[in-house]
Chain A
């Protein structure tokens, strides 16, 4: 399982990485903005993406829209400080599978990641 973490804060990426490692995932790639993330995605689509909203160069919502142009199936979790309902709806419309608002506890992050992966695996098995 290859996971792409996209956030301009390295501190956040490190926290996310620790949670993923605790869940047994070590195949992790990082990107600090949407441009780098899209280049990584284009070369080798990951099995899961965790995406921040506010980043330089290309923000997360633009990245997700671009990814969804060609790939409808990669599970994408948005992890952001943007907490308004309107933003959550905008992200769902863009194609996210789950949404985590910062600040988050490591437990809630772990749960949402497991939830999203279980759903994606279930959907893949059913199809």
Chain B
């Protein structure tokens, strides 16, 4: 995957968590998703369609997810709270939107958030598109952001790095 896409997502992750959760994120080295897919308790998924197709997935443990949701909402959000999935879905929504606006020249639509909650699950995505895992660490614990995106039109049409 083009490193510029990855950088757009990294920038958006940092901005989203700093702004909405007042939580600085330290981003580790992005790795290609291998065969041992990360086990996770909560996965917030946003799909992309249009000039690029794919998805971004935020993977959390229950503990980290609850701490992050609590910082975001400003009230205590446990995994049993009715807004638990809502909060984590909306964070994924912001990460997706912030990255998408950097892909100037591409017309991309985002899906509504889907959040999978279940102890120790994994999310299998299409083997046809390369997927990258970005490790992120915060004071609330670590989480992983998985991205996979393929262009549905030629790459020359894209100019990256533009900001509003």
Contact = CB atoms under 8 A, between A and B. Distances in A.
Contact of B164 (A10, A84, A104): A84
Given A10-B83, A11-B87, A103-B16, A81 B73 contact: no
B164 A8 contact: no
Contacts of A54: 93, 110, 112
A103 B94 contact: yes
Give the interface size bracket for A toward B: 20 to 34
Interface of A: 8-12, 14-15, 18, 54-56, 80-86, 88, 101-105
A105 B94 CA distance: 13
Interface residues of B, number: 27
B149 to A, nearest CB: 16
Interface in B101-115: 101, 104, 107, 110, 112
A84 B100 contact: yes
Contact of A11 (B15, B19, B90): B90
A71 to B, nearest CB: 27
14 contacts: A9-B93, A11-B90, A14-B74, A15-B74, A81-B98, A81-B110, A82-B101, A84-B164, A101-B97, A101-B164, A102-B94, A102-B97, A103-B16, A104-B19
